């Protein structure tokens, strides 16, 4: 019988790519999510019955244990960018990650990949980065041979980075930029999935790998590249950090006093803290080269999905080509 991997958060942005790769590698894939009925898009990744979404709440031992039954390997992709309802940074990114690793170890599972993030630091002033570091520590305590992947900002067809700002550019003449000089090293989502697949199928050396693409650029430069790709001229409006902190605090308070009627998906205080520091691979970190992988440049991928934000969508390139012919 083929091997089985349980992927927590396997229907999310990164998780679905790992699920697809593991299915293509011949593994059975159990996708552990809170709402299986909303994760049916993963089923066609394999043959009938090969990829199955199942219910799991990582805040509960019994729930996490149940979906580990019979698994040969485990992947944790669960993470949040902001706290909403019961989903708190500590319960999801720290306690949840530790719970998965602890119960996997109890069941004798030897192989685990944990998706963290560049910048994970217990001493950070950001709760996001603090809990990422705490989650790593708890996972390592239970599964010393774990492979921890720390990607920079992840891009791809379903991303909430380039797509988010491209969507804003469709309706606004301005694009607010917080931390315009902060450097990022965007990494293609399927490259992260390839690293996870390699760790599970070929046994990469345990430890931490920081994953960044071949391009390093400031936030402002990334927005300029995005705007060039969607063929729109917009004013990039620099937002000073002290103003951004006030904005984030205001939105956070509104979320709290509205009892969930308003969800702060705009800007949080914690996100402002993260935007104040570079998000690039450390000079002494292991990365793609140590895994024998070559990361994909943004220029090879962005045109494949950002065209949808152009005026005229997929027909824009045809119109541009026709215009050049008329000039000739």
Q: What is the 3-state secondary structure (H, E, C) of 63-129?
A: HHHHCCCCCCEEEECCCCCCCECCECHHHHHHHHHHHHHHHHHHCCCCEEEEECCCCCCCCCCCHHH
pLDDT in tens, 207-266: 999 999 999 999 999 999 999 999 999 999 999 999 999 999 999 999 989 887 888 988
Rounded mean pLDDT, 172-181: 95
Q: Is 70 exceeded by the pLDDT of residue 277? A: yes
Rounded mean pLDDT, 273-297: 97
pLDDT in tens, 106-157: 999 999 999 999 999 999 999 999 999 999 999 999 999 999 999 999 999 9
Structure confidence at residue 328 (pLDDT): 60
110 is written with which tokens? 């030897």
Domain 4-155+187-213+280-296: give its CATH superfamily: NAD(P)-binding Rossmann-like Domain (3.40.50.720)
Structure confidence at residue 56 (pLDDT): 97
Rounded mean pLDDT, 48-61: 96
Structure confidence at residue 85 (pLDDT): 81
Rounded mean pLDDT, 177-181: 96
Q: Tell me the percentage of the chain whose pLDDT exceeds 90.
A: 89
Structure confidence at residue 189 (pLDDT): 98
Q: Comparing C-alpha atoms, which of 106, 41, 42 is closest to residue 68?
A: 106
Give the model's confidence band at 173: pLDDT under 50 very low, under 70 low, under 90 confident, else very high. Answer: very high
- Coil vs helix vs strand at 158: coil
């Amino acid at each position: 019988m083929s091997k089985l991997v349980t992927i927590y958060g396997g229907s999310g942005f990164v998780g679905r790519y790992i699920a697809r790769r593991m299915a293509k590698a011949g593994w059975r894939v159990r996708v552990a999510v809170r709402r299986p009925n909303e994760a049916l898009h993963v089923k066609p990744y394999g043959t009938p019955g090969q990829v199955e979404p199942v219910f799991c709440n990582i805040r509960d031992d019994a729930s996490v244990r149940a979906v580990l039954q019979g698994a040969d390997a485990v992947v944790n992709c669960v993470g949040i960018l902001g706290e909403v309802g019961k989903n708190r940074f500590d319960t999801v990114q720290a306690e949840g990650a530790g719970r998965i690793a602890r119960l996997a170890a109890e069941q004798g599972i030897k192989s685990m990949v944990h998706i963290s993030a560049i910048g994970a630091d217990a001493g950070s002033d950001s709760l996001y980065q603090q809990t990422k570091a705490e989650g790593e520590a708890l996972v390592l305590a239970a599964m010393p041979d774990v492979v921890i992947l720390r990607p920079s900002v992840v891009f791809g067809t379903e991303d909430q980075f380039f797509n988010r700002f491209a969507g804003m550019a469709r309706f606004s003449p301005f694009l607010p930029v917080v931390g315009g000089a902060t450097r990022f090293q965007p990494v293609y989502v399927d490259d992260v999935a390839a690293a996870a697949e390699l760790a599970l199928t070929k046994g990469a050396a345990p430890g931490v790998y920081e994953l960044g693409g071949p391009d390093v650029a400031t936030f402002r430069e990334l927005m300029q590249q995005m705007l060039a790709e969607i063929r729109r001229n917009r004013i990039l409006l620099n937002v000073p950090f002290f103003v951004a902190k006030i904005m984030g605090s205001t939105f956070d308070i509104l979320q709290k006093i509205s009892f969930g009627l308003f969800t702060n998906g705009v800007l949080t205080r914690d996100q402002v803290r993260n935007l104040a520091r570079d998000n690039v691979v450390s000079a002494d970190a292991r990365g793609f080269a140590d895994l024998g992988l070559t990361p994909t440049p943004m220029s090879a991928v962005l045109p494949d999905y950002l065209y949808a934000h152009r005026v005229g969508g997929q027909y824009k390139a045809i119109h541009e080509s026709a215009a050049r012919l008329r000039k000739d």
